[in-house]
A and B are shown apart, each in its own frame.
Chain A
Amino acid sequence: MAEQNDDLEALMRLSLAGDQRAYATLLRETTRLLRPFLSRRLRFSNEVDDLLQEILLSIHKARHTYDGKRPYKPWAYAIAKFRLLDYLRAHYSDQLRHAVDFDDLEENLHEPVTETGMSYESISGEVQKLPEKQALILQMMHQEGYTAKEVAEKIGMNESAVKVAAHRAYKVLRERLER
């Protein structure tokens, strides 16, 4: 174990000196180290992969804060833990934002829940009257079936911004349709 630690520190020292092969090996070793740590804390393997990539990017960005004279693992784990907490915070706040309000649910209980009675096509006229970006987002999400994340990637916005724009569009549509 001590030998492996020495290796990691030595690899990092070489990486800081510009050795690209050492750096690639170090990043692979770091991935191998961190995968079980993340797998124990996240439910889906795609989440683990996404977060691992983010952590590797962070390690790359922060590598100048490691001097090769102190143990490598606590440094790498500190970054991993920081990104994991960030991810969990964003994930749960996103879930809270999309949580169903019990009052809304109660109001709608008497309505048929398996069928909305309204399709995208039936309100597409109203959708087209929305600002261009909001209309495009609704069209992509409800007519073409993309997720918010996919829409974000396609139109070069971030996912939260897409969700906020969609939410605003729903609000405007609801007000117009209730009139």
Chain B
Amino acid sequence: MDNIEQLIDTLSKDAQAVKPAPHPFKLCLLWIAGGTVYLAAALALTGLRPDWAESFRNPLFVAEIIMLLGLFIVTALSASLLAFPDLHQKQRIAYAPLGQALLFLGVLILAWRADTPAAPLPEHSIECTASILLTMLLPAVWTLYSMRKFASTHSRVAGSVALLSAFSVGALWLRLHEVNDSILHVVEWHYVPAFGIGVLGLWLGKVLLKW
């Protein structure tokens, strides 16, 4: 008890005025704005797919892009809440990426079923995954670095969601840049690696978001 009293005494003497952390919604808006600027810059540098106007006439392609955008927004929002010890008392929103991922899966299944006759597979394969990983690097570092300033009590999930948010930026960029209509290829080399990224995020979160 004496030790506790002593600690309280020390901590209170050490207590200076503290600037409260920004609201998670503000934080999330900052990440979304940053991610959007980065995506726009990446597309400006590498170019939009030449058949973009035609692709946007395909409702399933549009749905896929909307789902990816949704995933980016929802994971950014979730990551911002997960950076706070009590999830800012908005638990339901923090776990919203699960619902968004299910919707995304639904759109992919629809696109797969509509892919008859199957579009020809492109010649490349792992290059797509590598490109997404390279593109997501900067947003991932930024998000994780920002999250370290807070105090996550769900560090593994927070790390995973942060990486998935960055991954969705990379995936969006590639879908808007590469001329490719093979849903099989897209699922295999664009989206399945997201599971690996999620697992890597669990570990990175544990290591980097420790406090």
Inter-subunit contact B8/A56 (CB<8 Å) = yes
Measured between beta carbons, the chain B residues less than 8 angstroms from A18 are 15-18
Residues of A within 8 A of B151 (CB): 58, 61-62, 65, 79
Contact: B23 with A67, CB < 8 Å? yes
Nearest residue (CB) in A for B210 is: A86
In the complex, how many angstroms separate the beta carbon of B151 from the nearest chain A beta carbon? 4
Dominant SS at the B interface?
loop
Tell me the residues in window 124-166 of chain B with beta carbons closer than 8 Å to chain A beta carbons.
150-151, 153
Contact in complex: B8, A16 (CB < 8 Å): no
Which size class do B's interface residues fall under? 20 to 34
Query: Given the complex of chains A and B, what is the CA–CA distance between A53 and B3 in angstroms?
Result: 8
In the assembled complex, A170 has its CB within 8 A of some CB on chain B:
no
| A68 and B20 in contact, given A49-B1, A58-B151, A62-B211 (Cβ under 8 angstroms) | yes
Check if B84 is an interface residue, CB within 8 A of chain A: yes
Which residue of chain A has the shortest Cβ distance to B15 in the bound complex? Answer: A23
Whether the Cβ atoms of A65 and B21 lie closer than 8 Å is yes
Distance in angstroms from B25 CB to nearest chain A CB is 12
Chain A contact residues: over half helix, strand or loop, or mixed?
Answer: helix
Contact status of A24 and B12, CB under 8 A, knowing A17-B17, A68-B20:
yes
A79, B1: Cβ atoms closer than 8 Å: no
When the two chains form the complex, which single residue of B12, B83, B153 contacts A79, counting CB atoms closer than 8 Å? B153
Stretch of B58-66, B85-93, B189-197 contacting A (4+ beta carbons < 8 Å):
B85-93
* A108 shortest CB reach to chain B, Å: 37
- Of chain B, the residue at the smallest CB distance from A79 is B85
CB of B179, distance to nearest CB on chain A (Å): 45
Quick one: which of A20, A65, A71 has the most chain B CB within 10 A? A65
A contacts with B, residue count (CB < 8 A): 35
Q: Which A residues touch B13, using CB under 8 A?
A: 20
Interface membership of B57, Cβ < 8 A = no
Supposing A58-B151, A61-B211 touch, asked if A27 and B8 sit within 8 A by C-beta, the answer is yes
Which residues of chain A are near B84, meaning CB under 8 Å?
65
Residues of chain A contacted by B87 (CB below 8 angstroms) = 78
User: Which B-chain residue is minimally distant from A54 (CB atoms)?
Assistant: B7
- Which one, B4, B19, B85, contacts A52 given CB within 8 A? B4
A70 surroundings in chain B (CB, below 8 A): 86, 88-89
In the complex, what distance in Å separates the CA atom of A31 from the CA atom of B8? Answer: 10
Question: Are B8 and A74 closer than 8 Å at their CB atoms?
Answer: no
Q: How far is the CB of A53 from chain B (nearest CB, A)?
A: 5
B9 contacts partner chain A, Cβ-Cβ < 8 Å: yes
B11 within 8 A of A: yes
Point out the residues of chain B lying under 8 angstroms from A57, CB to CB: 7, 11
Residues on A with C-beta less than 8 A from B18 are 16, 18, 63-64
Q: Which of A16-60 contact B (CB under 8 A)?
A: 16-18, 20-21, 23-24, 27-28, 31, 49, 52-53, 56-58, 60
Residues of A within 8 A of B (CB): 15-18, 20-21, 23-24, 27-28, 31, 49, 52-53, 56-58, 60-68, 70-71, 74-75, 77-79, 81-82
Chain B residues with a Cβ under 8 A of chain A? 1, 3-4, 7-9, 11-21, 23, 83-89, 150-151, 153, 211
Given contacts A16-B17, A60-B15, 5 further A-B contacts (CB under 8 A): A24-B9, A27-B8, A53-B3, A64-B20, A65-B84
